[in-house]
Amino acid sequence: MLSAMGRMLLVLYTVLFIGGSDRLTAQPWAGIISQGRAIDWSAAGIPGGTPARTVICSTLTASMYGNGSADATPGIQGALNGCPSGQVVLLSSGKFRINSNVTVPANVTLRGAGADQTILDAHGSRGAVVALGSSNAYPNVSSSVSVTGGATAGSSSIVVASASGISVGTYLMITELNDPSFVSIQGAFGACTWCDGGLGWNGARVRGQVVEVTSVAGTKLGISPPLYGAYSRTPLATPFTASAKYAGVENLQVYANNTGYATNFAMSQCAYCWISGVEGNYADGDHVEVDYSYRGQIQHSYFSNAYLHTSGTYDSDIVIRLKSSGILVQNNILERLHSSIMLEWGAAGNVVAYNYMLANFDSSSTYWTTSDISSHGAHPQFNLIEGNSNISTHLDSDWGSASNDTLFRNFIRGTGMNCTPLSGRGTVVCTPVGQPPPDGPNNHGWWTPEAARSVIVDFLGSNYNSVGNVLGSADMAALYMYDDVGSGRLKQTRMAVAACAPAPCTAATRDSFGTAYNYTLGYGTSADTGSSGVGTITPYSTLFLHGDYASASNAVTWANGITHTLPASLYLPAKPTWFGAAPWPAIGPEITGGLANAFGYANAIPAQACYEKLMGGTDGRGSPLTFNADACYGQKAAPPVPPTNLKSVVQ
């Protein structure tokens, strides 16, 4: 599938320079992916994992607030504000009414008794239901300083024009002026002048990352992680202080009531913060928003349903944006959203791994296959997407460019089941299955035949890696298109499955409603059939493809001269405990005897096993379902230690 230009990129390297010429660290992708196209993804997430805090500073019971009849926000906030560092505010089982916003301060955990037991009944009209750190924190670009040295790929130190006000523990947003050779804010829908945060740069600095200052010697600053790439076009370092560090929320549910919240959970300028074992039971806007943050984790959680299923301000998803770096989104269930996980506006060096996604839809396009993982809004870079089971991955160019993301060992099914209702809160029904309303007025479930595509890379994407993925499914192979052929009659025609449209998968004729694709590369918008005039061969010619199984050809494609032995993971050193009895690795070209839907090349990842075996889920029907992270993954925090100095509870 690769062109001559693409094959030229397959230079073998055995090590990655990450801290200057005197520091070498072998990477699991060494010998497979070329240097400069990947980074050290083991640096994503909290070092050592989320803290297992055991000391309870305050215990609040739902009965204190009438089990949801009185506003519990002041009491919860007062307990959090008074909680000593490293301790926990514990909420009992029951319902807590939230009329405004709860903010978890630094070094404090807000913990419930379980997502199926502790419910935050959300009735506010703005911001986040639960914010980790400030929900309105933005770097001040007027404090930016020039980077005068060290701005090379892999550098772990830089020189700045002035280090005034910068100390160890300060965070820097590293940016440069857009490089027109591969960075653009002019996407299919126009210029994304806000993609660098709307901070006054007018979209001129969309590419960058967040680093932590580890040392200060005059104007020389040690930084972590090393720079993902070179920043040579008037680079700037914009310092900011984290609004919170090591703030966490665990084991509770947010129940949304469509009252106007922007998001259920938020991190903004938050470092080493986490969301674990939670449930989002519908969302007014998004489920999680992460802005200007560093090395946080979103894990072992269940995000189900939303009130919004159309494009716009919110995508009812987990969104990582605004240069956030090192965020780890792993082992979550995401069900019946608009999008599932979105990387946008300069998100860099993040890991999206082992998430199970199903039943996303757009209520205005009932036939349409809605992507659940997307790179959206200039200029995400160096993100790892590993081990997920999802419907469709769309590295789009709607609002600008992106580059250097890696897809590794994902099972991307290419179609999904849509079920009623398509708006509002209600019991989800998926049977009978057939043509969607209004053409099939009595049907409640249907497979999406339109825009059925596993991997889509739009015209402004470059230097992507696709390694060890399984593309297409038996569900995709069984798709039908529906044609009206006369009064009261419907014709069903089995759709073809193709690898590309046509080779070399760049902009030519692409069928949106008649052919399902494992890959399409180089088009404009999702609806582009090749007639938009914006297509380009760049996504194809710069793609490194190796070890992918494509259902269209029923074959694995290997690049010439590269080992066929793939590492189990590109960020985990070994099988994690939460994987339980699931095979490791779960997905890839060497897997045999796996799921029939994956032609044997993929097994159920832990999140899918939790959803199907413990929660009783299938295709979204009856959701939201009952969820408890400890029951699924054994991730319950250590038992609480009785406090020696219990803080009084503000009621």
Length of the chain counted residue by residue: 651
* Dist CA 546 CA 465 (whole Å): 8
Q: Is residue 231 part of a domain?
A: yes
Per-residue confidence (pLDDT) for residue 650, from 0 to 100: 29
What percent of the chain shows pLDDT beyond 70?
Answer: 90
Q: Is residue 256 part of a domain?
A: no
Angle at 45 between CA 44 and CA 47, to 5 degrees: 105
CATH code for the domain of 229: 2.40.30
* Dist CA 57 CA 85 (whole Å): 10
- Asked if 325 contacts 209 with a C-beta cutoff of 8 angstroms, the reply is yes
Per-residue exposure over 456-484, b if at least 16 CB sit within 10 Å of its own CB, e if not:
bbbbbbbbbbbbbbbbbbebbbebbbbee
Reported as a single tens digit per residue, the pLDDT across 608-634 is 999 999 999 999 999 999 999 999 998
648 confidence band (pLDDT: 50, 70, 90): very low
* Dist CA 206 CA 378 (whole Å): 6
- With a cut of 50, say whether residue 645 has pLDDT above it: no
Q: Which neighbouring-strand residues pair with 147?
A: 160
Q: Is residue 580 part of a domain?
A: no
Q: Let me know if 546 is exposed, middle or buried by CB neighbors in 10 A (0-12, 13-18, 19+).
A: buried
Q: Let me know if 189 is exposed, middle or buried by CB neighbors in 10 A (0-12, 13-18, 19+).
A: middle
Q: Closest Cα partner for 622 from 607, 633, 611, 610?
A: 611
Query: Which residues form the domain of 217?
Result: 142-242
State the first-to-last Cα distance of the chain, in angstroms, to the nearest integer. 65
Which residue reads 């299955």 in tokens? Answer: 433
25 confidence band (pLDDT: 50, 70, 90): low
Reported as a single tens digit per residue, the pLDDT across 91-146 is 999 999 999 999 999 999 999 999 999 999 999 999 999 999 886 778 999 999 99
* Dist CA 540 CA 537 (whole Å): 5
Q: Is residue 200 part of a domain?
A: yes
Arithmetic mean of pLDDT, 388-410: 98
Q: Is residue 209 part of a domain?
A: yes
* Dist CA 300 CA 278 (whole Å): 8
- With a cut of 60, say whether residue 406 has pLDDT above it: yes
Question: Which is it for strands 417-419 and 445-447: parallel, antiparallel or unpaired?
Answer: antiparallel
- Asked if 499 contacts 553 with a C-beta cutoff of 8 angstroms, the reply is yes
- With a cut of 60, say whether residue 279 has pLDDT above it: yes
Residue type, 347: A
Dihedral pair phi/psi, residue 221, rounded to 5°: -120, 125
Q: Is residue 637 part of a domain?
A: no
Counted domains in the chain: 1
Neighbouring residues of 446: CB distance < 8 A, sequence distance ≥ 6: 366, 367, 417, 418, 433, 434, 435, 436, 440
Q: Is residue 582 part of a domain?
A: no
Q: Is residue 427 part of a domain?
A: no
* Dist CA 610 CA 145 (whole Å): 48
Q: Which neighbouring-strand residues pair with 457?
A: 395, 521
Q: Closest Cα partner for 431 from 439, 513, 423, 440?
A: 440
Per-residue confidence (pLDDT) for residue 510, from 0 to 100: 86
Q: Closest Cα partner for 94 from 252, 310, 216, 288?
A: 252
